[in-house]
Structure 1
Amino acid sequence: RVSDERLAPGWSAYQRRIHSKTWDVTRLMKEGGNAIGATLCDGWYAGYVAYGLFTGQEGLVPGLEGRSYYGISPALRVQLEIERADGSVETIVSDTSWKTSTGPILETDILMGESYDARKEMPDWSSPGFDDSSWEHAVVKTGTDSCVEPHPGPPVRPVMEIPAKTVTERKPGVFVFDLGQNISGVVRLKVKGKAGDKVTIRHAEMLHKDGNLSTENLRCARAVDTYILRGDPEGETWQPEFTYHGFQYVELTGFPGKPDNGAVTGVVIHSDTPFHGSFECDDPMLNRLYQNIVWTQRANFFEMPTDCPQRDERMGWTGDAQIYVRAATFNADIASFYTKWLRDLNDDQWDYGAYPPYAPRPFSRPNEHHAAGWMDAGVICPWTIWQVYGDTRVIREHWRKMKDFMEWRAKRDPELKGAEDDCGFGDWLSIGEVKTPIPFIDLAYHAYCARLMVEMADAIGETKDAAKYRKRWREVRAKFAARYVRTDGTLKIGNQTACAMALFYGLVPDDRRAGAAEQLAGLIRDNGNLMTTGFLGTRPLLPALSENGHHDLAGTLMRQ
């Protein structure tokens, strides 16, 4: 094969941009005849994606929910360039002379899983001399006018393997394996049996108390792979190619005999962002916490920064992406990963200027157009990538789109009161009776993004824009303080999120910061040194404490 990459060329806003992949295949060329073979799957383009099935979103096929949002069937364009020693170049392209057929893959879907019948394998099908007389000619796909450009991010590929630690027979013929680590990827199966034997592989992150798989959290994602044996007396090894799952536990049924631990190996798959960061201290709990963070990043940096690797979602939620981007840079080189995803975000930006709650955006629900703290990823993420890697190209590439967003924001809230949004996420998953109003969050992020725009405008020499956004930052900050900050510095919204956001984003006047910091510390102590923050409030919580003299409390909170 030309590469160990998986699910190439990835997910994008296919209606605007399709990515290509280029490989050097010199090592694969042989004297005499050569052949090119390719296997296509529905993938993100035509398969089940996101929570479309769960929420009843119809695709391009009338009456069919959950899939085919971009197209109904996949297509392939191949160009082989042969550079000869004399400098001449020969180009071979795919056309209707190419032949197509079905093969041993009976079904494959990113969310649902893969079914493979090894009895249908065709040895040497991609080699010269293979008899393809019964195959059909390829047809030309029409109606595609998207731009085609090289994939700018790291490839998705297998990065490591994890052997099963234990296997338990839960009931006759049902075997549960424990990898000892939650991963994103697939199972490599080793099995020996008769032709036609069918092994079913189920995946789960948790077990019920009785030791059986807990799959309720998967919702509509089937996450089941099946393998039908060809009956090789030497044994068979198989792993799916066009799906992935989030799991720690594996259930086998239909396995011939009783498997040992070696029957199952976890193959970890994700975007291959180089991991260079490390952390270790004398607290075992913090060390374990850090490892959990790294594994979570591995599992969720899969072509885009996703929310989860297991259920029927796996979407590039913008709130998740902006909240975690700075932490991610400590662990791995994510510059090209975010370069790719930010283009997805720009491609799916609404025409009126707001950034969507997720990108790529395969569908649009009536109440999912923009959300405070989510849409701001379009400004926060480019700023963060520039801050970490020192490359202003990310600012220049997205500057016009960021300006469109900021202009829309100014028009929708001319009195600077903070605005409601149609998603209504707020400080998602926060705890406690005192909720943070969405207008508060919106105004805080409006101010913060204006401040970041000042810094970015200065960095790329856009002096007029810098002056405009500096004025905006001062105005919004003043309005925020007048509306939400008392004269003693305490916040009128009495919860941890409000205090943390106001402090972290620089919205409390300097001479009143001590009051806000004491209020935050008191709220935490009164809650038994436990946090009540959600998605948006957790990010600024510990820095807001540490930057205002409460290091010990931040440390205590981190260890809870």
Structure 2
Amino acid sequence: MEIYGLKLNNETNPIINSNVFNFSWKFKETDNIQSNKQVSYQIFIYDGTHKTVWNSEKIQSSKSINNEFADIQLEDQETYSWQVKVNDESNKEIYSKESKFYTETNWKDSDFISSDNNSSLPVFTTQFKLNDNPDSIKSATLSITGLGTYQLILNDQNLGEHNDIKEMLNPGWSDYHTQINYQSFDVKNSLSENNTLKIPIGKGYLLGRISQFSNYESIFSDNVKSPLLILKLMIKFDNGKKQVITTSNNPKWQFFDQLNHVDNDIYDGEIIDFTLGSTDTKSVTAPKIDQPTVKKILTPSNSAKVYEILKDKQNPILTYSYNPNKVIANPNLELGEVELTKITDSNWIADKSTRLLFYFGQNMAATINITFQSKTNVKTKVHVKTGEILNDGQGSIENKTGSDGPKNSLHHRNLISEIGGDAKSEEVFIVQDNNDHQYNATWTFHGFRYIEVEVDNPVYIKGIQQIPVTSLLHKNANLKTNNSDLNRLIKNIQYGEQSNYLSIPIDSPNRAERAGWSADAQIFTTSGLMGFDSTAFLKNYLEVINNTEDKSAYKSIMPKSFLPQLAQLQAAGWSDIGIILPWKLYKFTGNESFISKYYSNMVEYMNLIGSTNDVDTNYDDKVFGDW
């Protein structure tokens, strides 16, 4: 019998901000003895030196889920691990592997810093020397958040990249008026005698177009948004001494602008100009925010992360070329058609009269990884566009119906939202040399199965991949039948869940929406919990919807985005998520805290909707119609 699937407070590697600990684990048979059962268990918590700092003592019980203990006292901002020992019916002792967790951070001695707001990707940096030998480190826990989004690079190592996955879009999306997530990292094995931190801050959900109706400007006293970074590194040595690195000028922080990152936006994509470099370092600035107020809403969350699944990188299964200037007239097609030529090898060369069209077979939320080489020394633009479908040549460009180009060309109009506007969903690269250039766009994501490459000078595309992105890493269930169509449907459902669970449950990851429509989130909860290990992810979203400006007045889009008159609606099936989500989480896990924690908010919401003695309600019922 093997123990696996350890969960603490329904999460793997969580940040704990409570002294109530809920432990769960699973079993699988390894010796074909199906009658083995747990008779007793004992839980151990270890510090950074593997010293036992707490144990449950031996408990006679077969229960392996929701084993709850209160008043466990641990130190702030520390990395711990826990393990369970089980005795089976033959009194054999079985130990689980250890599972890491973190405790919350006290931010009192660290403040937010910012840049001069002149760049789409400022990089904050500092250097520090250890006060003692790296081998004498007992523990080293780094807590961080950055808005829009951040990457954490310590000694040239991206700490979000490990085991064939790479974190992106940290710290995740919440209502930044009332909740800003932060993450914690165990950096004990990444420190050396002399250390350098580099933290780029992308536009993300704070500074990008996706937040155009979120009123995040009001967080700043001058009503002007700027990048934010706060960090605290707690290093503890074997001799009991501590060393603390913070963003409060301890040590000195600076930043530089990566000018080659011309722009990055979740809707639009990234623009990279390889002819540009970086600025010299400059002094950081103090953001125009109320530091104590903003620090008070810092909330630990390791469950809002989004990951690139590097091991599932997809190469195109078909490649075509076509001449965009050669449109074939066809009386049956209002917009004509272009002739696709199938390319059977990887000799992918594009020029002014040749566009390349790559087909990946599977529609999904993904990033683009590309390697290319310009065939000239002339300044060249490489335009990489994404799409879900090809045009069928029917429709009117003028009236904005049907196709937006000739048959077989990439369709774009479905990426435009009447609410969010246009999502360019593209990457643009500018070069002026014959070098190989490789780039993986990680400050944005797209929903696509086609990529079209357009250039203004000859370019050789040496490689191009689609990398899936999601907040879900582990399947709960799978089903394979003898029907290929049904298997294809199951696969699409799985990709659909992964593609829509990105930091929060979102709608279409392809177009200019990608927001937390609450009906979309609640109606898929049961399927979502069955398909993938999404309990921690949905637990995070439960925190988000209960920590908005409106609190228990649940709305139709949370966090608030898009046009206020839509986002602020209270509609049956949408805002009811405040009741439905905790109930479904409880039903799936048996953990009553999903209901008890926000029960008072649920009662307030029901009172707001109306009296149970009256058939009339206060729902906004005249907007969504038969949706």
Letter in 1 for 2:286: V
Higher helix share: 1
Q: 2:226 aligns with which of 56, 73, 77?
A: 73
Long gaps (5+) in structure 2: 1-157, 161-165, 324-352, 393-406, 417-421
Alignment of 1:424-503 (within 5 A): 424-428=623-627
Letter in 2 for 1:2: L
SS of match in other structure, 2:184: coil
Specify the alignment match of 1:167 in structure 2: 319
SS of match in other structure, 1:190: strand
TM-score, with length taken from structure 1: 0.67
Specify the alignment match of 2:178 in structure 1: 16
**Following the alignment from structure 1 to structure 2, what is the Cα–Cα distance between the partners of residues 154 and 232?**
40
Mark the CA change 1:139 to 1:336 in structure 2 (over 3 Å): closer, same or farther: same
Alignment of 1:337-352 (within 5 A): 337-348=537-548, 350=550
Specify the alignment match of 2:414 in structure 1: 217
**Following the alignment from structure 1 to structure 2, what is the Cα–Cα distance between the partners of residues 70 and 218?**
30
Matched, 1:403 2:603: yes
**Following the alignment from structure 1 to structure 2, what is the Cα–Cα distance between the partners of residues 300 and 273?**
13
Asked if the contact 1:155/1:272 (under 8 Å) is kept, the reply is: no
In the TM superposition, residue 418 of structure 1 has moved relative to its aligned partner by 5.3
Mark the CA change 1:86 to 1:120 in structure 2 (over 3 Å): closer, same or farther: farther
Asked if the contact 2:373/2:459 (under 8 Å) is kept, the reply is: no
**Following the alignment from structure 1 to structure 2, what is the Cα–Cα distance between the partners of residues 360 and 137?**
33
**Following the alignment from structure 1 to structure 2, what is the Cα–Cα distance between the partners of residues 37 and 419?**
50
1:368-388 Cα offsets, whole Å, 9 max, x none, are: 421111111111111111111
SS of match in other structure, 1:12: coil
Mark the CA change 1:337 to 1:115 in structure 2 (over 3 Å): closer, same or farther: same
Greater Cα offset, 418-427 or 13-22: 418-427
**Following the alignment from structure 2 to structure 1, what is the Cα–Cα distance between the partners of residues 609 and 593?**
24
Specify the alignment match of 1:415 in structure 2: 614
SS of match in other structure, 1:386: helix
Asked if the contact 2:370/2:438 (under 8 Å) is kept, the reply is: yes
**Following the alignment from structure 2 to structure 1, what is the Cα–Cα distance between the partners of residues 223 and 481?**
48
Specify the alignment match of 1:229 in structure 2: 431
Matched, 1:139 2:301: no
Alignment of 1:284-433 (within 5 A): 284-348=484-548, 350=550, 353-362=552-561, 365-366=564-565, 368-411=568-611, 414-417=613-616, 421=620, 424-428=623-627
Specify the alignment match of 2:301 in structure 1: 151
**Following the alignment from structure 1 to structure 2, what is the Cα–Cα distance between the partners of residues 317 and 70?**
27
Q: 1:91 aligns with which of 244, 247, 251?
A: 244
SS of match in other structure, 1:100: strand
Asked if the contact 2:389/2:449 (under 8 Å) is kept, the reply is: yes
In the TM superposition, residue 11 of structure 1 has moved relative to its aligned partner by 0.9
Matched, 1:112 2:268: yes
Asked if the contact 2:265/2:443 (under 8 Å) is kept, the reply is: yes
1:136-192 Cα offsets, whole Å, 9 max, x none, are: 100112324231121141520111211111221121231111111111121101112
Letter in 1 for 2:423: A
Asked if the contact 1:45/1:70 (under 8 Å) is kept, the reply is: no
In the TM superposition, residue 422 of structure 1 has moved relative to its aligned partner by 5.1
Asked if the contact 2:472/2:533 (under 8 Å) is kept, the reply is: no
**Following the alignment from structure 1 to structure 2, what is the Cα–Cα distance between the partners of residues 331 and 70?**
43
Alignment of 1:520-539 (within 5 A): none
In the TM superposition, residue 215 of structure 1 has moved relative to its aligned partner by 0.7
Mark the CA change 1:212 to 1:168 in structure 2 (over 3 Å): closer, same or farther: same
Mark the CA change 1:349 to 1:14 in structure 2 (over 3 Å): closer, same or farther: closer
RMSD: 2.6
Mark the CA change 1:176 to 1:255 in structure 2 (over 3 Å): closer, same or farther: farther
SS of match in other structure, 1:231: coil
Mark the CA change 1:227 to 1:357 in structure 2 (over 3 Å): closer, same or farther: same
In the TM superposition, residue 59 of structure 1 has moved relative to its aligned partner by 5.0
Mark the CA change 1:313 to 1:237 in structure 2 (over 3 Å): closer, same or farther: same
SS of match in other structure, 2:186: coil
After TM superposition, the runs of 4+ consecutive aligned structure 1 residues lying more than 6 A away are none
Long gaps (5+) in structure 1: 63-68, 123-131, 429-560
Matched, 1:245 2:446: yes
1:95-119 Cα offsets, whole Å, 9 max, x none, are: 4531112112110111111111223
Mark the CA change 1:78 to 1:246 in structure 2 (over 3 Å): closer, same or farther: same
**Following the alignment from structure 2 to structure 1, what is the Cα–Cα distance between the partners of residues 224 and 591?**
36
Asked if the contact 2:270/2:444 (under 8 Å) is kept, the reply is: yes
In the TM superposition, residue 26 of structure 1 has moved relative to its aligned partner by 2.9
Letter in 1 for 2:256: S
**Following the alignment from structure 1 to structure 2, what is the Cα–Cα distance between the partners of residues 423 and 288?**
38
Asked if the contact 2:357/2:451 (under 8 Å) is kept, the reply is: yes
Mark the CA change 1:20 to 1:232 in structure 2 (over 3 Å): closer, same or farther: farther
Specify the alignment match of 1:28 in structure 2: 190
Mark the CA change 1:109 to 1:258 in structure 2 (over 3 Å): closer, same or farther: closer
**Following the alignment from structure 1 to structure 2, what is the Cα–Cα distance between the partners of residues 110 and 416?**
43
SS of match in other structure, 2:499: helix
**Following the alignment from structure 2 to structure 1, what is the Cα–Cα distance between the partners of residues 474 and 526?**
16
Letter in 2 for 1:30: S
Specify the alignment match of 2:380 in structure 1: 197
Asked if the contact 1:173/1:255 (under 8 Å) is kept, the reply is: no
Specify the alignment match of 2:60 in structure 1: none
Specify the alignment match of 1:183 in structure 2: 364
Mark the CA change 1:13 to 1:170 in structure 2 (over 3 Å): closer, same or farther: same
Number of matched pairs = 403
**Following the alignment from structure 1 to structure 2, what is the Cα–Cα distance between the partners of residues 110 and 208?**
24
Letter in 2 for 1:186: T
Matched, 1:39 2:200: yes
Asked if the contact 2:226/2:287 (under 8 Å) is kept, the reply is: no
Specify the alignment match of 1:207 in structure 2: 390
In the TM superposition, residue 199 of structure 1 has moved relative to its aligned partner by 1.3
Letter in 1 for 2:176: Y
Matched, 1:2 2:159: yes
**Following the alignment from structure 1 to structure 2, what is the Cα–Cα distance between the partners of residues 83 and 386?**
39
**Following the alignment from structure 1 to structure 2, what is the Cα–Cα distance between the partners of residues 90 and 338?**
36
Mark the CA change 1:164 to 1:330 in structure 2 (over 3 Å): closer, same or farther: same
